[in-house]
Structure 1
Amino acid sequence: MMFPTTDSTENVLGIKDRNIKFDENLPFETKKIKDERAAVYHAKLESQETRCVNCGFEGSLIKYGTKTCRLKLPNVTATRQPVYLELKKQHYLWKQCRTTFMAKTEVVAAHCSITRPVHWAITLDARTNTSLKTIAQRYHISSASVQRILIQDNAYSLQEKRNYLPEHLCFDEFKATDTYSFIWMDAQSHALGAVLPSRRIATLKDYFLGFPLAERLKVKSIVVDLNAAYINFIPAVFPNVQIIIDRFHIINMANRALNTCRKRLMKQQKRSSREYKLLKSNWRIFLRDAKTLEAKKLSYHPAVGYYDTDVNLVHLALSLDETFKQTYEVYQGIYSAVHDRDAKALKAVLNNYRPLHNEMDTTIRSLKIHWQALLNSCRYDYSNGPIEGANYKIKEIKRTSYGFRNQRNFKLRIYLQFAHI
């Protein structure tokens, strides 16, 4: 039987430590370990020390026995067969001061049986949306070991860094374990800034006031949703900032008001009538930009059971109630102004608004309160789109892992997958 050479074995396993010498007689064998057939390599580790690690004087080393350790290596076969290295570590005695020590290697940490290449592979896999159980099965170790390795090797990424702030920020929150957490990002580069365990204003103030004043003065704009708590605390922490309300949330707020009015009008119609079916099944048509509705080409609408244009269907619904018609016109005015970034048109819609005694009154009142931030949404290009995408990815992380109970572990997985390191 012909065995691979020492050099080829080192290249396959990725071991570059010259102190490790593979057994030329039996460098490799297959045997059963933990009820699995495993590939086992045999090698010996010797030290090149010329000075005592205790007294520092030069002298003679006396070989003082060996200790064989079974180390876990990355899988190198297509069948994902577990791979081990049975390393025979040389034990030494320093004759002058009677100090004993074991030969060491960079391949594995002291008192550990999982090699560093496995550590690196686990961290790389954790940067993808993969569950701990899947990673553990891939490297034939326990899920607890995978989590421990991630914490040991990447603990520095959890340390709060308060020495730099971008000029443009995005603020939002997401559901973490059993509470809501706060997240902020760079609005330009879309790089993750930090994840805080709470969205309470006191927590946010303590965190951001920990940054130097020069960094906080640098911040020019912050994009937020219509959360009044965020809008009120920002000026006290960032003196030179311009607050921008995310355009999606502006339209979404008007959208909800129109939808509530549509449902109320729908319930006033007979269930068997075409008006009821139109308001119930074709609800999306009322939320679209009126300028994009088809006015000439006929198309079949199952809800009403005949061919007609989008414009005619909308006019049919608007003719049912004058209040609903006015609510729809206000919604279209807000939609068009925000979409076209027309601050004057948006101001005209709000100033010319007359109370309709429905949900749109609350929407207009909220928008008027934050008028300056509303105008900034038309003047600046920044939005909360990147951070909403990040929140969706965080939901995927939770779904893959069937949720997290430990907030630190959850935060670490977020940082790893967003390349926060």
Structure 2
Amino acid sequence: MSDLSNFNNFTMLKMFNLNEKNIQDFKVYDVPIHDDENKVIRNVLNIDVKLVDLKPECSHCDSDDVVIKDYVHKKLKHSTLKNKECIIHYHARRYRCKFCHKTFYEHNPFSLSSMRYTMNTVYNVLGDLKEETETFASTAKRHNLSVNTVIKIFDDYVGISRKSLTDVICIDEVYAFKSKNSSYVCVLLDYHSQEIIDLLPSRHIGKLATYFRSIPKEERNKVKLVSIDMWHSYRTITQEFLPNAVCAVDKFHVLQDFTRRLTQIRIRVMNQFKPINDKPLNELTQEEYRLRYRRDINYYLLKKFNWLLFKTEEIFNDPNHPRRYNHKLKGRYNYYELKEMILNISPTLLEAYNMQHYLKLFYQSDYEKAKSDINPLIEKFKNSNLPEMN
């Protein structure tokens, strides 16, 4: 125990509220970290520790007939030493019960199971994040942790109470980086103030139902309008738990979905003109050469200039805009002329483009005009010959 005695008056024991008699093996040493040129850039304090065998009872059946099965190396980040990176190598003793034959670990005073950092690190990180001037990045740097680790500690241990539902709310999601619950985090937003009401760890319908069921019915009945994207669960949840609310898909997601559908149609049309080089050029008749050239040009326009279908700025709709020479087309054209050439390729594509025009005109309407225009617009889409538009 000489190493232990020399380690700053039992600093290690004070860190974890341990007695010297609890320590079987203990070693402290620095490990140099080198850069690409093999120069030492910093030293990392390493602590090897093994606890005394306390011969515990089986955690499954309470039998005292247990034996040591093996030791598992647990590498834990420890941030109690500010501005000094520290790693604890804890050799955790694992037991096997002779009665029930199950295994279990000895009591771990350093961390909870599956954690890669000590509980002291958690306390220190959360203590720093109480300060308004602190950021995840600054806290991570101080404690020699990654930003993602600090964010995970915050998410795991900080619970923020939700705000009350308002008469108009928005439900959306953001991608959840490395979340264990879901690929997306559900966001509830107050439409009027644009403040977050609450963040939910998952957008799955079962989780959402449990959440809204926990909100008093009187509060839920006050909601009059819910703005959502096109995730089907949000509509179902609104109908079941917000009975007085109208469900509306916001403009951004409607246009986003339409863009996806128009793109599907454009690709379907474009694939009809994929180049077919079944015969050498010198073996083609004049008519075959003309047809192959037309297919090639149509495919080129739909592939190269498809983005023109989604542009509404004046420069793209001005027939008098300056022209530029195109080597493939062997002529001078402006954006307006190129778009007209694309629309003349297929009546299917032209119809889809016109549907986009009707949709964007609707979103330019004022409130009163929109009320009279919405049903005719819906009928246009229902009666379209294009399956992507129905």
Superposition TM-score tier, normalisation by shorter sequence:
0.5 to 0.7
Structure-1 separation of matches of 2:159 and 2:382: 52
Mean Cα deviation higher: 335-344 or 309-318? 335-344
- Tell me what 1:166 maps to: 166
Aligned equivalents of 1:148 and 1:258: distance in 2? 40
Partner residue of 1:247 out of 241, 248, 251: 251
Task: Specify the alignment match of 1:388 in structure 2.
Answer: none
SS in structure 1 at match of 2:214 = coil
Contact 2:163/2:198 (<8 A) preserved? no
Letter in 1 for 2:335: D
**Contact 2:187–2:200 under 8 Å retained in 1:** yes
Alpha-carbon spacing, 1:356–1:236, altered in 2? closer, same or farther (3 Å): closer
**Residues 129 and 263 from structure 1, CA distance in 2 versus in 1: closer, same or farther, beyond 3 angstroms?**
farther
Q: How far, CA to CA, are the matches of 1:347 and 1:301 in structure 2? A: 45
298, 305, 320: which one aligns with 2:322? 298
Separation (CA, whole Å) in 2 of partners of 1:326 and 1:345? 19
Residue 190 in structure 1 maps to residue 194 in structure 2:
yes
How has the CA–CA distance of structure 1 residues 163 and 314 changed in structure 2, closer, same or farther, with 3 Å as cutoff? closer
Q: Higher relative contact order by CA 8 Å / sep ≥ 6: 1 or 2? A: 1
The offset of 1:235, in angstroms, is 3.0
TM (normalized to structure 1)? 0.50
Aligned-residue offset at 1:280: 0.7
Deviates more, 1:268-277 or 1:222-231: 268-277
Alignment of 1:324 with 2:354, yes or no, is no
Query: Aligned pair 1:347/2:348, yes or no?
Result: no
Amino acid at match of 1:210: S
CA 1:300–1:345 in 2, change beyond 3 Å: closer, same or farther?
Answer: farther
Give the 3 Å change call, closer, same or farther, for CA 306–174 of structure 1 in structure 2. Answer: same
1:211-360 matches, cutoff 5 A: 211-269=215-273, 271=275, 273-289=296-312, 293-300=317-324, 302=326, 304=329, 306-340=331-365, 343=370, 344-353=372-381, 355-360=383-388
Equivalent position amino acid for 2:246 in 1? Q
TM-score w.r.t. structure 2 length? 0.53
1:99 paired residue number: none
Q: In the alignment, which residue of structure 2 is the partner of 1:366?
A: none
2:389, 2:152 → 1: CA distance?
Answer: 54
Instruction: Give how far 1:148 is off.
Output: 9.7
Cα gap change, 1:141 to 1:321, in 2 (>3 Å): closer
Q: 1:195 to 1:147 in 2, by over 3 A?
A: closer
Aligned residue pairs, count:
260
In structure 1, the gaps of 5 or more residues are: 1-32, 38-70, 76-80, 83-111, 363-421
1-structure distance, mates of 2:269, 2:145: 61
Residue type of the partner of 1:314?
A: K
CA distances 1:124-177 after superposition (whole Å, capped 9, x unpaired)? 5996463xxx845534589999689757xx94x415x36722332111234433
Deviation, structure 1 residue 354: 6.8
Shift of 1:204: 1.5
Which amino acid is 1:173 matched to? E
* Alpha-carbon distance in 1 for matches of 2:145, 2:187: 33
Aligned twin of 1:203: 207
The code of the aligned residue for 2:193 comes to: S
How far apart, in 1, do the equivalents of 2:146 and 2:335 lie? 59
Q: Could you tell me which amino acid in structure 1 is paired with residue 171 of structure 2? A: F
Partner of 2:239, secondary structure, is: helix
Q: Please say if residues 128 and 134 of structure 2, whose CA atoms lie closer than 8 Å, have aligned partners that are also in contact.
A: no
For the aligned residues, what is the CA RMSD?
4.3
Q: 1:127 to 1:321 in 2, by over 3 A?
A: farther
Q: Does structure 2 conserve the Cα–Cα contact (< 8 Å) formed by 1:294 and 1:311?
A: yes
* Distance in 2 of aligned mates of 1:135 and 1:146: 7
Aligned AA for 1:311?
Y
- Helix, strand or coil at the partner of 2:221: helix
The answer (yes or no) to whether the contact 2:226–2:245 under 8 Å persists in 1 is yes
Question: Is 2:168–2:224's contact at 8 Å kept on the other side of the alignment?
Answer: yes
Question: What's the offset of the Cα at 1:289?
Answer: 2.8
Q: Which amino acid letter does the alignment assign opposite residue 183 of structure 1? A: V
Distance 1:339 1:124, change over 3 A: farther
